[in-house]
Structure 1
Amino acid sequence: MQIFKDKVILITGANRGIGRSLVKALLHTGVRKVYATCRDLNKMPTFDDDRVVTLSLDITDDRQIAAVAAVALDTEILINNAGTVNPGNMLEGDLTGMQRDMQVNYFGTITMMRAFAPILRKNKPSAIINIVSIAAYSPLPSIAGYAASKAALFSATQAVRIELAKEDVAVYAVNPGAIDTDMNRGSDWDMPDSDSTAVRIVEHIANGELDSVPDTMGQGMYQAWREDPSKLSAIFSDLYHATPID
């Protein structure tokens, strides 16, 4: 895990799900420091490790981002994990929820990358790791706003990768399928837990995989997309139409 050894890492949305699990997984790789951020520090778990520094951060608040960037000037790896999902299809779903998905998952993450790009350029070799979603390849209509925001983020991640390619700042996109987190609470899908998923994410990044899918469900969907994008669309169509609509 040489990519993480002795590194200073900042993780957004570190209070639960994949973010919390990434903090725990990274502490086993020899990191020097982890800035663990979330909106409400009262909800941040105790990691029982002096290397963890907790910071309050809402990635939709430009002033908070600037304040955290001013504190975390030693960041060498930025992990953009914070995200949200709101239910609803594209034609009839709540537009406020869709706007929230886009504001957090897309614009908030872009603002984070903009704020930390000068820091990462200074502290190179460095990296940005964006937790995107398998939904970036083909939207699930029941969470259409979320899927659209993740598709936009995946495109932005590829663009930033090109922008920073000659500056020794690597840019990674991680595209999980459904993971057993609070975000997917109530689903009857057979989902992997966030701890094992985080370990796989760390392994894939350590192996230099710029675009990775850390779970079996996501890999199956990705392979379907690689063979023919319409195959993944068909999978999501079957899931959507199999669910009774109230």
Structure 2
Amino acid sequence: MRYSVKGKVALVTGANRGIGKAIVDAFFAHGVEKVYLAVRNPESTQDLQAKYGDKVVALPVDVTDEASVKALAEHTRDVDILVNNAGIMKVVSPLSEDAESALQEEFNVNVFGLLRTAQAFADTLEANKGVLVQLNSIASMKTFGDMTTYCASKAAAYSVTQGLREKLGEKGVSVLSVHPGPIATDMGKSAGFDEAPGAETVAAGIVEALEAGDFHLFPDPMAKQIEAAYQSYADNIILGDLSV
């Protein structure tokens, strides 16, 4: 379903830096009316508040806390576009003694955080005929040894996103699954990707993908390599009708 962001109200988790911050900028550049900046520490959004004034509202949220997510949803019933961007990455070998704790932490944020957020906002998105944008990764399709636990969490998040596409779709809500490659954010740099494309590449791609009515977005050069190999499977299996 094609979707224009112009005149809409958006909420972006993890909006204070990196891809989240770039999404806020891209939304305003394309006519979004208001953006809720949903972050752990609202003071971390002061530069965005100075830039956009009363067009932004900073609100606290901890996606690992169900009550926090529900409280956020209660205060933002005018949301049309929900961007679930908050996520964490641990650089750890699957043979490390820290692998289990890393996996638990990443699942709590990257997977259960998605579930909590989607469930809390489902009624609002249905009422407003809105969209859910989920920041996944090429790591949902390809595992890299020292990012094994992160990749596992993103693979699970992608699986959940597919289920949300089906069930929210029945309510008239569109879902976009975003799969960037390495991006030059703080997270990307921590994994050694200093020369990667900027976050604005992902943000611009999201606006374009929503307008095109796409389910998958592979926004950057490395991601597009994955897309080229994955396209047939995505079209015939992920998006295909297997009931016939």
TM-score tier, shorter chain, comes to: 0.7 to 0.9
1:31 partnered with 2:36: no
Distance in 1, matches of 2:134 and 2:3, equals 19
Query: Post-superposition shift, 1:9?
Result: 0.7
Corresponding residue for residue 54 of structure 1: 58
Query: Post-superposition shift, 1:177?
Result: 0.4
Corresponding residue for residue 240 of structure 1: none
Distance in 2, matches of 1:78 and 1:99, equals 25
Query: Post-superposition shift, 1:32?
Result: 1.6
Q: 1:191 is paired with a residue of what secondary structure?
A: coil
Q: 2:47 is paired with a residue of what secondary structure?
A: coil
1:219 partnered with 2:224: yes
Q: 2:86 is paired with a residue of what secondary structure?
A: coil
Distance in 2, matches of 1:225 and 1:4, equals 28
Letter in structure 2 aligned against 1:198? A
Distance in 1, matches of 2:141 and 2:221, equals 16
Query: Post-superposition shift, 1:226?
Result: 5.1
TM-score (norm 2): 0.88
Query: Post-superposition shift, 1:91?
Result: 3.1
1:99-122 deviation per Cα after TM superposition (whole angstroms, max 9, x unaligned): 111100000111000000011111
Query: Post-superposition shift, 1:93?
Result: 5.0
1:110-142 deviation per Cα after TM superposition (whole angstroms, max 9, x unaligned): 100000001111111x11010100010121121
Distance in 2, matches of 1:204 and 1:165, equals 17
> Once the two structures are aligned, what percentage of the paired residues are identical?
36
Q: 1:75 is paired with a residue of what secondary structure?
A: coil
1:168-223 deviation per Cα after TM superposition (whole angstroms, max 9, x unaligned): 10011000000000001251563101123311222122221111101011111332
- The structure with the greater share of residues assigned to helix is 2
Q: Which range moved further: 204-213 or 151-160?
A: 204-213
Alignment match of 1:123 (pick from 110, 128, 152)? 128
The root-mean-square deviation of aligned C-alpha atoms, in Å, is 1.8
1:69 partnered with 2:73: yes
Mapped contact 1:204–1:214 kept (Cα < 8 A): no
Change (3 A) 1:65 1:141: same
Gaps of at least 5 residues in structure 1 are 229-246
Corresponding residue for residue 178 of structure 2: 174
- Count of residues in correspondence between the two structures: 227
1:153 partnered with 2:160: no
Letter in structure 2 aligned against 1:58? D
